[in-house]
Structure 1
């Protein structure tokens, strides 16, 4: 993947993926009684999932940079 495609994904793809993720969260909150009954647990999962993906990506990139 060249740098232009990476930049296009960063500028266009990530915000769209974020909107879809937020939409899925709203749909889960409105349709599932379990999510409404346990807001702290479902909110923590909703927040920690993208945070853990970002942390893994950051740490992987740092490890590659330190290897060189």
Structure 2
């Protein structure tokens, strides 16, 4: 898969993933009485989950980039 195809999937897929996530939130709130009785807990869970996922993806890609940079120019690393 080339870079343009990956970018197109990202641009098209990200909004659909957002819609799917909103649908999951609505379904949980409509189907679960406990979720309706504890809105602060549910809001915390549903707001922290995307942050944790995006943070872990960002850290993973940053570590890959750092490892790639060290392999290209090992003498420039600070010890």
The TM-score, its normalising length taken from structure 1, stands at: 0.89
Task: Kindly indicate whether structure 1 or structure 2 has the higher relative contact order, using CA contacts under 8 Å at least 6 residues apart.
Answer: 1
- 1:27 paired with 2:27, answer yes
Q: For 1:53-68, list aligned pairs within 5 A.
A: 53-67=53-67, 68=69
| Matched length | 68
Q: CA deviation at 1:57?
A: 0.6
RMSD between aligned alpha carbons?
1.1
5+ residue gaps, structure 2: 70-79
Residue deviations 1:7-66, cap 9 Å, x none?
112110010011011011012112210101111111111111111110001111111111
The TM-score, its normalising length taken from structure 2, stands at: 0.78
5+ residue gaps, structure 1: none
- 1:41 paired with 2:45, answer no
- The 1-side partners of 2:2 and 2:41 are apart by 40
